[in-house]
């Protein structure tokens, strides 16, 4: 098994840090001058690549790759550059590196900066690819015998979301207004959502474009990295609007992502296979090898001025369809994929109650409220609740983490 790679940045050598030398997550941060800089996480520090590039310290095939405070330009350079650049960073930051004295001048403490969106989201597609989640939700509304739609075991189901609603961790989310079923269950009312929810997901970032259908292997090659993703969902708005075309305004409020992109290369040793198929997939969706990852995940909920309660723990390896399968299916119509496209995995739930990645499942539609450590109960989110998603792949004496993905729910706008 891969072991911790020692670094001259001492904080990167801890078994508890999210950002050892094995990781080298990519992000964007604001400086004191409010400029956006691209950086690499190493322990509790950030290596400022924008400054290094401006000082002529980076050798890249194009100029000003990091000048705009976004990783899109780097992603566009392709997988060959991604791999070479990672190797250069590992050598430069490794214990005993001859570059230590020079690079120390480009380190910035994480605690001194504000994180920003790590890339410009071109398009956003969210999937419904977790079997446990799909079965739980289907059971609530249709009973266990009809829980999964006939197509679910054959196809990664998804919908096109709003790229403009994707926000970075730490951004507040405001409770949305919308049409809800009225008291007579027919005529609707217009009111703030009363059943606002989280969804624990992973997001895959497309780093290379496509101009036609691609195979599952080609799709995997196109993926640059992964983020934690919270697909905030207004369940009552969704219940009224979703027939016949599926989610719309219920999913348009916000989608929060972690500020750090963990590259596919950093996760390579944590690959694992998707589960055994109940129905054989069509050839174009069959995987040539392990395409999922063993990433432990958890959700914390902290009410106003109260301590956090961990309300769910699960693992990314519970997904029925991998991001590569989702991406390959997305291209079958000829739909072009672009650098910076974001694919949400769908809610990640495990087989037990404590593994459920949404309050809809945890409270079973509100019938079984959760009791938090503070003594408060929750069926759905209340104003002032802060949600925190965490995730990490766990190695031998190290972890590959994503940092926290947080968001606080604010009260709906007063329309009176």
Residue 115, C-beta contacts closer than 8 angstroms, at least 6 positions apart:
27, 28, 29, 30, 168, 169, 170, 259, 260, 403
pLDDT(374) > 60:
yes
Q: Tell me the mean pLDDT in the region 138-166.
A: 95
Inter-residue contact 392 to 402 (CB < 8 Å):
yes
| pLDDT tens track for 167-189 | 999 999 999 999 998 877 678 99
Residue 416 in this model has a pLDDT that exceeds 90: no
HSE, CB side, 13 Å, CA atoms: give it for residue 77. Answer: 17
How far apart CA 301 and CA 155 sit, in angstroms, is 33
Q: Give the whole-angstrom CA distance, residue 402 versus residue 405.
A: 8
pLDDT at 305 over 90: no
CA 303 vs. chain centroid, Å, equals 23
Contact 406, 387 (CB under 8 A): yes
How far, in Å, are 4, 133, 350 from residue 353 at the CA level? 34, 11, 8
**Are 160 and 130 contacting, i.e. CB atoms less than 8 angstroms apart?**
no
For residues 350-363, average pLDDT: 97
Confidence of residue 378 (pLDDT cuts 50, 70, 90): very high
Report field, pTM of the whole predicted structure over 0.85: yes
Strand partners for 371: 377
Report the C-alpha gap between 184 and 340 in whole angstroms.
Answer: 45
Report in angstroms the alpha-carbon separations of 335 from 207, 248, 324.
Answer: 16, 20, 15
Residue of 309, 416, 326, 264 lying closest to 130 (CA atoms): 326
Q: Which residue out of 37, 133, 329, 330 is catalytically annotated?
A: 133
Share of the chain above pLDDT 90, in %: 94
pLDDT at 338: 98
Contact 336, 71 (CB under 8 A): no
Q: Which of 87, 93, 92, 71 is nearest to 26 (CA)?
A: 71
CB atoms within 10 A of CB 113: 18
Mean residue pLDDT of the chain comes to 96
Q: What is the pLDDT of residues 67-98, one digit of tens each?
A: 999 999 999 999 999 999 999 999 999 999 99
- Residues 221-232: tens digit of each pLDDT: 999 999 999 999
Distance of CA 46 to the CA centre of its chain: 21
What is the set of domains in the chain, with CATH numbers? 10-116 (2.30.30.230), 124-410 (3.90.850.10)
Residue 185 pLDDT: 67
Other Cβ atoms closer than 10 A to 216: 23
Q: Are 388 and 308 in contact (CB under 8 A)?
A: yes
CB neighbours of 45 closer than 8 A, spacing ≥ 6? 9, 11, 12, 107, 108, 109, 110
Over 60: is that where the pLDDT of 1 sits? no
Q: Judge whether 124 and 344 are in contact, CB under 8 Å.
A: yes
Question: At 138, is the secondary structure helix, strand, or coil?
Answer: helix
> Is-catalytic flag, 133?
yes
Q: Comparing C-alpha atoms, which of 371, 81, 32, 29 is closest to residue 224?
A: 81
Q: With pLDDT > 70 as the criterion, what percentage of the chain qualifies?
A: 99
């Amino acid at each position: 098994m891969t072991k911790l790679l020692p670094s001259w940045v001492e904080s990167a050598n801890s078994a508890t840090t999210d950002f050892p030398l094995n990781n080298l997550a990519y992000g964007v941060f604001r400086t004191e001058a409010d400029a956006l800089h691209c950086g690499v996480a190493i322990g509790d520090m950030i290596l400022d690549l924008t400054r290094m590039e401006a000082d002529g310290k980076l050798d890249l095939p194009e100029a000003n790759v990091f000048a705009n405070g976004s990783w899109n330009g780097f992603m566009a350079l392709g997988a060959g550059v991604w791999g070479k650049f990672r190797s250069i960073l590992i050598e430069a930051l490794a214990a005993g590196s001859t570059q230590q004295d020079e690079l120390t001048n480009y380190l910035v403490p994480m605690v001194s900066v504000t994180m920003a969106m790590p890339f410009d989201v071109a398009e956003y597609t969210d999937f419904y690819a977790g079997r446990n989640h799909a079965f739980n939700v289907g059971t609530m509304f249709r009973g266990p015998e009809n829980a999964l739609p006939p197509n679910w075991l054959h196809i990664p189901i998804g919908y096109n979301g709003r790229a403009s609603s994707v926000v970075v961790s730490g951004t507040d989310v405001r409770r949305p207004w919308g049409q809800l079923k009225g008291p007579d269950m027919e005529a609707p009312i217009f009111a703030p959502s009363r059943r606002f929810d989280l969804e624990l997901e992973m997001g895959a970032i497309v780093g290379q474009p496509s101009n036609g259908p691609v195979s599952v292997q080609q799709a995997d090659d196109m993926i640059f990295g992964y983020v934690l993703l919270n697909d905030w969902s207004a369940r009552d708005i969704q219940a009224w609007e979703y027939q016949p075309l599926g989610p719309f305004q219920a999913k348009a409020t916000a989608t929060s992502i972690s500020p750090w992109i963990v590259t596919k290369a950093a996760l390579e040793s944590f690959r694992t296979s998707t589960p055994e198929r109940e129905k054989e997939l069509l050839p174009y969706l069959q995987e040539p090898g392990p395409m999922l990852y063993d990433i432990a995940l958890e959700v914390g909920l902290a009410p106003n001025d109260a301590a956090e309660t961990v309300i769910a723990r699960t693992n990314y390896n519970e997904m029925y369809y991998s991001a590569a399968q989702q991406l390959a299916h997305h291209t079958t119509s000829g739909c072009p994929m672009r650098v910076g496209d974001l694919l949400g995995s769908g809610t990640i739930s495990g087989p037990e109650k404590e593994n459920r990645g949404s309050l809809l499942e945890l409270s079973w539609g509100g019938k079984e409220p959760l009791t938090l450590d503070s003594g408060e109960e929750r069926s759905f989110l209340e104003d002032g609740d802060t949600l925190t998603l965490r995730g990490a792949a766990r190695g031998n004496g190290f972890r590959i983490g994503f940092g926290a993905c947080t968001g606080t729910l604010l009260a709906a706008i007063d329309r009176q």
